[in-house]
Amino acid sequence: MRSPLRLERRLSQPRSLRWLVPLISIGAALVLGSILMLLTGKNPITVFQRIVESGFGSKTALRGSLIAATPLAFTGMCAAITFRVGIINIGGEGQFFVGAIGASLVGLALGGQPTAFTIFAMIVMGMLFGGAYAALVGVLKARFHTNEIITSLMLNYLAGILLNYLIFNSTSYWRDPRSIGFPAGKPLEARAWWPKFELFGVQIPLGFLIAIVLGSLVLFLYRRTRFGFEVGVIADSPQAARYAGMNTRWKIIAVVTLSGAIAGIGGASDVGDFRHILDAKGLQLAGYGYTGIVVAALARFSPLAAVGVAVVIGGLTNAGYALQGPDFQSGLVGTLQGLLLFTAVAGEVLTRYRIRLRRTTTAS
Amino acid sequence: MNSNLLVIIAASAVFYGTPILFAALGELITERSGVLNLGVEGMMLIGAVTGVWASQHVPGTSWFVVLASIVIGATAGGLVAALHAFLVITLRTNQTVSGLAITIFAGGLGLSSYFANVWNVAAKPASHPIRVLDVAGLADTPIIGPILFHQTILTYFSWLLVVVCTIYLFHTRIGMQLRAVGESPQTADAMGINVVKYRYIHTIIGGILAGVGGVYYSLAIVPTWVDGMTKGAGWIAIALVIFGFWRPDLTLAGAYLFGAMQSLSLTLKARNVHINGDILDALPFVMTIVVLVAVSSGWAHKRIGAPAALGQPYEREER
């Protein structure tokens, strides 16, 4: 049983592939998605048309897409930062939740203070909470060689349970005491809401701007500093890093903590920019952390590119919300995102190999 | 006697541990061939949703419908695994990312939810659930009755599977060759073993078993469809393979330990024992981390039993 495909390793990578491969990946995902829709009795062309219209077709659509993109920019960066150095932190989801818990705590406590002060405190708390939660994963990996994929995932479920506890099953500080029948989070005072900016008539959330700044800073950290260089060496060859006297353990912890801190700021932005409460149910239904992995993979694990990709995927998500109904099922957008992830991963192969069809006639 | 709390917990440990055992055995076989599949959660959910669909649409007697649902759920799980196999074996993509892609694509927010909506399976409960049996009329035997003789057909099948897997892996020629593929594909290839074929087949078997585990969720535990109903069981199954040192018998023990913890909250609530439900819900996840830390540090640091080539693509041309 010989495979009809043969992969030849490329000796050099043509520059054009850097643009071509993502385009081919997106195209392949569209084709596969269309096949799926045809199989389930939908017209793919109308579906895609409606997705583009309600994701990017108008100023309101764009505004909604930026709102959907903001959390994904943070979780996308969170995944990209660790994946690119070979650490698989899939705990962005939980780190985002915990960041939202920390930020809403100070947001509620300082609600009456000057807005700028509250916002600053919320960002710092989101960062600290998310970072600390992720540090746990880093310490376990660095100290005990514990598989970070599984620990970070288990911590996602635990963060979800913590949210349920705080809002539904206790009379915590976060829960609105007036909500008895349907427990809900205590609303933030309007003074603590994060401001929005306007560009060409489209509202841009503060969180999105923060994401752009953070993306640039992280890119600088990886490209231009000693820390970034050493982390890169550790990822490529842990042995070489040890011989060179680099402190591997500390750097693993630092990278994971940094990625969690960014996801935590995302949680702060979720509370400050959009929901203005700690929304236990909404956060768990959104799946920001997992979609962030799709974003990171499409951005080829570049933190700044992740912000851009988040806008595209955010548009898709936003269209999904807008169109949801009997003829546009809720799992469809998630499925399309999954397909995109597949084709992006498979597309990587084109940058490393040439694919040749094996001629069946040649006797070997 | 049979209502003794410990007996109930032991019986439900087996009941709730069975799907995790199926998924973990599947992952174990996959990993023995050197392929890591992190898509277990997604494959289980696809198995679960196709299983309910089959149960609602396949005509025939109850037994036939149950059997058909299991087969259809298993096939669906196998198909998803084949996708992973193609990506990581033929295209040699990163196994971790491809597995995550499987879970995101097929999981609670993806294809399984889409199918559930398109087929409208959540509208009514499964018409032919998998029921617990009273084996040879022994279900009322004190203590062991509810634990051993009052389970579903799949539980008995899983016991058979543990035995078969153990014999297959450690006492047959093909099993030995499989382990060789997982330890050192280069050596196996030199011995004349078709590495690609072995990896494909065992990755697909892993998906089939994960699919069966999923069907157990939607037809035996809940008997209806809920989005994301496996609630992390697939991930626990992956962790179980590590705790079980890649051995079927230890995996069985681990699965029942986690089954016990998953059922504790329900069992204790039903008996009005007042412990915070969230703490009980958190227990399996906390335990997974604790056991994983214990296993990965100290005496077990060398990862006893882990296939040496786990997660590495095999490139024949590169030798």
> What's the pLDDT at A167?
94
Which residues, numbered 178 to 217 in chain B, qualify as contacts with chain A under a Cβ-Cβ cut-off of 8 Å? 194, 196-197
Q: Which amino acid is at A179?
A: S
Contact with chain A for residue B83, Cβ under 8 A = yes
Closest CA to B198 of B28, B34, B40, B23: B34
Contact A313, A337 (CB under 8 A): yes
Average pLDDT of chain A is 89
Report residue A77: phi and psi, to 5°. -60, -40
Closest CA to B290 of A166, A155, A130, A255: A155
Q: Which residues of B touch A338 (CB under 8 A)?
A: 101, 104-107, 110-111
Looking at the DSSP assignment, which residues form a beta bridge with residue A202?
A199
Nearest CA in chain B to A83: B97
Residue A276 has pLDDT above 90, yes or no: yes
> What's the pLDDT at B1?
44
Q: Could A40 and B194 be called an inter-chain contact, meaning their C-beta atoms sit closer than 8 Å?
A: no
Cross-chain CB nearest to A342 (options B101, B301, B318): B101
Q: Which amino acid is at B140?
A: D
Contact A333, A54 (CB under 8 A): no
pLDDT 10s digits, A77-115? 999 999 988 899 999 999 999 999 999 999 999 988 899
Contact with chain B for residue A297, Cβ under 8 A = yes
Contact with chain B for residue A149, Cβ under 8 A = yes
Q: What is the mean pLDDT of residues A238-252?
A: 87
Are β-strands A5-9 and A202-205 bridged in parallel, bridged antiparallel, or unpaired? Answer: unpaired
Which ipTM score applies to this complex?
0.88
**Residue ranges of the domains in chain A?**
73-196+205-302
Report residue B5: phi and psi, to 5°. -55, -40
Contact A158, B286 (CB under 8 A): yes
> Which contiguous run of DSSP H or E holds residue A197?
strand A196-199
Pull the structure tokens for residue A272. Answer: 């400050």
Q: What is the mean pLDDT of residues A48-67?
A: 92
Q: Could A150 and B238 be called an inter-chain contact, meaning their C-beta atoms sit closer than 8 Å?
A: yes
DSSP annotation of B194: -
Confidence band (pLDDT; 50, 70, 90) for A141? very high
Q: Could A145 and B297 be called an inter-chain contact, meaning their C-beta atoms sit closer than 8 Å?
A: yes
CA distance B256 to chain A (A): 19
- 319 residues of chain B, pLDDT tens digit each: 456 788 888 998 999 999 999 999 999 999 999 999 999 999 999 999 999 999 999 998 989 999 999 999 999 999 999 999 999 998 888 898 899 889 989 988 889 998 998 888 888 887 788 888 888 788 888 888 888 888 999 999 999 999 999 999 999 999 999 999 999 999 999 999 999 999 999 999 999 999 999 999 999 998 889 888 998 899 999 999 988 889 999 999 999 999 998 888 777 777 777 777 788 889 889 999 998 898 887 655 555 678 888 888 887 765 4
Q: Is CATH 3.40.50 correct for B5-318?
A: no
Three-state DSSP class for residue A354: strand
Alpha carbons B124 and B31: distance in angstroms, whole number: 37
Residue A11 has pLDDT above 80, yes or no: no
Q: Which of B109, B226, B286, B315 to mutate to test binding with chain A, by most A CBs within 10 Å of its CB?
A: B109
Contact with chain B for residue A346, Cβ under 8 A = yes
Q: Could B114 and A332 be called an inter-chain contact, meaning their C-beta atoms sit closer than 8 Å?
A: yes
Alpha carbons B217 and B17: distance in angstroms, whole number: 11
Strongest mean pLDDT among A3-12, A40-49, B291-300: A40-49
Other residues' Cβ atoms within 10 Å of the Cβ of residue B300: 14
> What's the pLDDT at B270?
73
pLDDT 10s digits, A309-354? 999 999 999 998 888 777 777 788 888 888 888 888 888 887 878 7
DSSP annotation of A148: H
Closest CA to A97 of A229, A331, A281, A240: A281
Confidence band (pLDDT; 50, 70, 90) for A363? very low
Give the C-alpha distances (Å, rounded to integers) separating B43 from B74, B92, B103, B134, B265: 9, 20, 7, 30, 26
Alpha carbons B249 and B252: distance in angstroms, whole number: 5
Residue A275 has pLDDT above 80, yes or no: yes
Contact B221, B68 (CB under 8 A): no
Cross-chain CB nearest to B197 (options A1, A164, A332): A1
Pull the structure tokens for residue A44. Answer: 């793919």
Considering just the CA atoms, what is the radius of gyration of chain B in Å?
A: 20
* More confident of the two residues A263 and A230: A263
A84 sits in the region (left: phi over 0; alpha: psi -120 to 50; else beta) called alpha
Residue A136 CB-density burial (10 A; 0-12 exposed, 13-18 middle, 19+ buried): buried
Largest CA distance in chain B: 65
**Residue ranges of the domains in chain B?**
5-318
Cross-chain CB nearest to B117 (options A9, A331, A337): A331
> What's the pLDDT at A188?
93
Q: What is the mean pLDDT of residues A236-251?
A: 86
> What's the pLDDT at A82?
95
* More confident of the two residues B262 and A45: A45
- Only one residue has tokens 């070979």, namely A86
